Amino acid sequence: MNIKDAIHTFRKSDKFWISLTRDILTVALAVLVFASFSQVAFGMWTPMVAVESGSMEPHMNVGDIIFIENIDRTQVITNQPDNGDYSSFEKSGDVILYRPYGKEDATPIIHRAMYYVEKGEPMWTGGPPAPGSGYITKGDNDITNSHFDQQGDISYHIPVKDEWIIGVARYKIPYVGYLRLLLPRF
């Protein structure tokens, strides 16, 4: 059997093992193509996260899939008046994905970068001085997130350092993330 006949048999065969191998290779190729596209477009092999809480409602809902651009490829634009007409997810300022306290094993937080503070500056009006430079962050849901993350237990009295930021939210696909939320974490 020459190579041309072998390829034809592989492509057209109904035999179980050949068909299974063909399907596995097709899925592997699709994953490789998607991962390569993700690396080129977003700077990450896996640029998606599923929203797990309502802290960003109404702009991001539980179960939404959010595409994240690697922080090395972009700059964080904060929710400040001097940023002109720029908006992200219907509000001024970027939504960032960060690791609380920089912990690798912690579930990342996806909240809006409100403003940047330098070490020693008050973190908010009447607030304590910042122990280091970083971002003051907050969820968009004013009912569940009436205070900055740094006023509560998410990042208590510590601004989000640049090295904690994974990336900036760019796009969303509503509700597709529910499937991810149903699966156990590995």
* pLDDT tens by residue, 123-132: 999 999 999 9
pLDDT at 90 over 80: yes
pLDDT at 46 over 70: yes
How far CA 42 is from CA of 37, 95, 143, 164, in Å, comes to 8, 15, 32, 18
Contact between 115 and 96 (Cβ < 8 Å): no
Q: Is 16 helix (H, G, I), strand (E, B) or coil?
A: helix
- The domain covering 48-181 belongs, at the CATH homologous superfamily level, to Umud Fragment, subunit A (2.10.109.10)
pLDDT at 172 over 90: yes
72/75 Cα distance (integer angstroms): 8
Mean pLDDT, residues 56-71: 94
Mean of the per-residue pLDDT values for the chain? 88
Peptide linkage before 100 cis (omega within 30 of 0): no
71/45 Cα distance (integer angstroms): 13
Which is higher by pLDDT, 56 or 178?
Answer: 56
Range in 55-64, 127-136, 170-179 the model is least confident about: 170-179
pLDDT at 186 over 60: no
Cα 64 to chain centroid distance, Å, stands at 11
Residue 75 token pair? 């700059």
pLDDT the model gives residue 51: 94
pLDDT the model gives residue 45: 66
Who's near 37: CB < 8 A, 6+ residues apart? none
pLDDT the model gives residue 185: 63
Query: Model's pTM, two decimal places?
Result: 0.79
131/147 Cα distance (integer angstroms): 19
Mean pLDDT, residues 45-53: 85
Give the start-to-end residue ranges of the domains of the chain: 3-42, 48-181
DSSP code at position 122: B
Range in 28-32, 47-51, 98-102, 180-184 the model is least confident about: 180-184
